[in-house]
Amino acid sequence: MFQKKLFFIMLTAVFLGCTQTKDPVEGKIDELLSKMTLQEKIGQMNQLTGTGLSNDMVSQIKSGKVGSILNELDLKTTNELQRLAVKESRLGIPIIFARDVIHGFKTIFPIPLGQAATWNPQLVESGARVAAKEATATGIRWTFAPMIDIARDPRWGRIAESCGEDPYLTSQMGAAMIRGFQGKNLSDPTSLAACAKHFAGYGATESGKDYNTTWIPELQLRDVYLPPFKVAVETGVASFMCSFNDINGVPSSGNEFLNRQILRKEWNYSGLLVSDWASIEQMIKHGVCTDLKDAARKALKAGVDMDMMSYAYINQAEGLVKSGAISEKQIDDAVRNILRLKFRLGLFDHPYIKEQAKMPFYTEDALRKAKQAVIESAILLKNEKDILPLTDAIKSVAVIGPLSDAPADQLGTWCFDAEPSHSVTPLAAIKNSYGAKVKVITEKGLTYSRDRSPQGIAKAVNAAKKADVILLFVGEEAVLSGEAHCRADICLPGAQPELVTALKKTGKPVVMIVMAGRPLTIGKQVEEADAVLYAFQGGTMAGPGLADLIFGKAVPSGKLPVTLPRMVGQVPIYYAHKMTGRPAEKICLIDNIPVGAAQTSLGNTSYHLDAGDSPLFPFGFGLSYTSFNYSSVKISKNKMSEGQTLDVTCNITNAGKYDGAEVAQLYIRDVVGSLARPVRELKGFQKINLKAGETKTVRFTLTSDQLAFWNADMVKRTEPGEFQVWISTDSQSGKPVTFNYI
Ligand code: BGC
């Protein structure tokens, strides 16, 4: 009996042993690694920006000193650089070419924040696939996207690149982008390796100023900032990038806790970790390293595999190994991660990119998907007297505003490779598609978003007087958001507020379309306008998508992926906040306080005297041309315990005249916890199409794990007690039902 058991154990061990060494890629990596000199290994860890076929680049490649090149865009040059690596370096290891392909390469989709507003992961995935097909045709096989930093501060310019404030929505959107970029198989020549960035906490930057310090308690880090990155690992993301910021004094490029403990040990991640641009060197400026050698040592110890543009590894790593400060095993581990990606991408077998007679840019399919993304990313915030969609009674429109015909600005931030000449602006689209139906009067008023010219406003008013409806395209130029483009005041720039007021005074209905890179504080303008569509920056097809919404060929279905504040001083303001011990009650705003009122007269609750306690519009909000009625929520049982699931359902009826799509949102609240918990947390969403008059049942399955949070002992646990659950149209409405976790 015992012998039989032993035999079985041995057999299992042999079998496991075989399966473990079976992965052919690991074998190939070992074989290659065994042939590499220390310098060649360090060369693989060096990423440089493209300098064409410069003598320096050529000689570095030939001597095996370059593992990756970013920003090389000429296909002939790329192939020649690759040939040098493959044919003229000693070991012939191919280079991986990288680029920031963020929301499109040639065909530009809405900025990521706009894509998140679609709440449609399939559509977002298809957008990333389009970007991958276009970018890989020029030799790029690695993109530095998606950016899945949680962004709760609209002053931060990079909120444009984010999927907004919520960990769940960001996780879903990030995963969709990863699937789209990477395709079914990384070795497919149209697959782009994705990069989950920036690891981590970059969005918590103090005062919304880029690169600034962050203070993030471990609990909050794990509960809010890390979940999208963990989902990225589970989705199979090929690479990670360190963030620029320090967390509690430790810059990410030297953060062993983040990069080794969490990423490698807890999440078992075996992909590549690249620094951000010169972020290793910048640890000197942060004041945590004495010199480049110290910075290289810290980054290597923290497990950063590849050095983007610090020249720290290439110049310092060898000395560090020789002095014993860093072991050669640490170098080997980094090189393994780099070679693994190169093998997975098939670069050893197919290092070159075929030149195509006709580049696969701006295909009909790509433009159609980009337009659909515009349609689904626009959020209808207001629609007084159902002014939208415009009816046949409207015979003339005045197209006004700095964003009405701004081909470059509608593309948004981070599109180095885009060609504004391919942008279809709102003005062009309205003229082309609806010009036969309505007379189009045009006058920009302000020529760009910061323009303050009073003459422009006067001209716009004159034009508006001649039309039945004003279509006013306001917002921000592309350059006002994105990396290092932060604002302390997030109002509509320039004289745009005056433009809105002046147009309102004409008495004509004002339809305001906001094309911006962030949430703007537009309370007054929302009051003045009759209808408001918040469109972010929609990319190449912004015009046709918006025109179809305005004229009713499409129905809005976008929902806010981020809270719109009334005033910048409310920031950070997000729906998943905690309750204070003195929640806001009987809000008395500043102008209503009686002169000479006693200090305690307002009741001592939590709100701002000038802004109150509510946002302008909450997370998840978005109207439609039709209306949706939610029935009360039903749950499959009122008690659940570990390992169990709970079905949550409700009926949604399209009670209006138009067919439309609604995003049903599932929220929970842990009513009493060992730690105070958010008033609501998003745990699921479904976008459903409903014909006018149609009713559908939405069903969510909540698992006990989804109720868990990180407690004070740093353990993720679901605590017994009462929970509330909602299915609602946004983060503030709906009635919850209650169940108990036992
Ligand atoms: C940004 C990254 C980007 C990198 C390479 C950095 O400045 O922070 O997001 O991927 O540059 O362009």
676: its two tokens: 């105070």
**Cα(328)–Cα(91) distance, integer angstroms:** 19
Residue 589: CB atoms within 10 A of its CB come to 12
Indicate whether residue 100 lines ligand 1 (CB < 6 A).
yes
19 pLDDT higher than 60: no
Give the position, in ligand 1's atom list, of the atom nearest the Cα of 244: 8
- Rounded Cα distance between 298 and 174, Å, is 29
Q: Distance of CA 109 to CAs 54, 520, 613, Å?
A: 34, 21, 34
> Contact at 8 Å (CB) between 148 and 228?
yes
Q: What's the pLDDT at 645? A: 97
pLDDT in tens, 681-737: 999 999 999 999 999 999 999 999 999 999 999 999 999 999 999 999 999 999 999
Domains in the chain: ranges and CATH: 368-550 (3.40.50.1700), 583-614 (no CATH), 628-741 (2.60.40.10)
Question: Which of the pair, 357 or 461, is modelled with greater confidence?
Answer: 461
Instruction: Answer yes or no: are the C-beta atoms of 726 and 735 closer than 8 Å.
Output: yes
pLDDT per residue as tens digits for the range 419-477: 999 999 999 999 999 999 999 999 999 999 999 999 999 999 999 999 999 999 999 99
pLDDT at position 600: 86
Distance separating alpha carbons of residues 371 and 388, to the nearest angstrom:
19
Q: How far is CA 510 from CA 514, 516, 533, 545, in A?
A: 12, 18, 11, 19
DSSP 532: E
> 144 CA to middle of ligand 1, Å?
7
Residues 166, 276, 294, 548: which is the catalytic one? Answer: 276
Q: Kindly compute the dihedral angle of the four CA atoms of residues 591, 592, 596, 600, in this order, to the nearest 10 degrees.
A: -120
Output the CA 562–ligand 1 centroid distance in Å: 23
Which residue intervals of 449-568 are DSSP H helices?
454-465, 496-505, 523-528, 542-550
**And the tokens for 237?**
């993301």
- Residue 87, classed as helix, strand or coil, is helix
Query: E strands within 50-145?
Result: 68-70, 96-99, 142-143
56-96: pLDDT as tens digits:
999 999 999 999 999 999 999 999 999 999 999 999 999 99
Q: Residue 23: which pLDDT band, with cuts at 50, 70 and 90? A: confident
Q: What is the pLDDT of residues 469-525, one digit of tens each?
A: 999 999 999 999 999 999 999 999 999 999 999 999 999 999 999 999 999 999 999
Active site residue 30: no
User: Encoding tokens for residue 595?
Assistant: 């002169």
The pLDDT value given to residue 22: 67
Residue 14 has pLDDT above 70, yes or no: no
> What is the value of pTM for the model shown?
0.96
Nearest CA to ligand 1 atom 12: 100
Give Rg (Cα) of the chain: 27
Distance CA 244, CA 210 (A): 9
- For ligand 1, atom 2: residue with the closest CA: 276
CA-closest residue to ligand 1 atom 10: 144
* Helix (H), strand (E) at residue 112: helix 112-116
Mean pLDDT over each residue of the chain, to the nearest integer: 96
For tokens 């697959």, the residue is 191
**How far away, in angstroms, is 137 Cα from ligand 1 center?**
22
Are the C-beta atoms of residues 535 and 472 closer than 8 Å to each other?
Answer: no
Instruction: Confirm if 424 and 543 have CB atoms less than 8 A apart.
Output: yes
Q: Quick check: 8 pLDDT over 70?
A: no
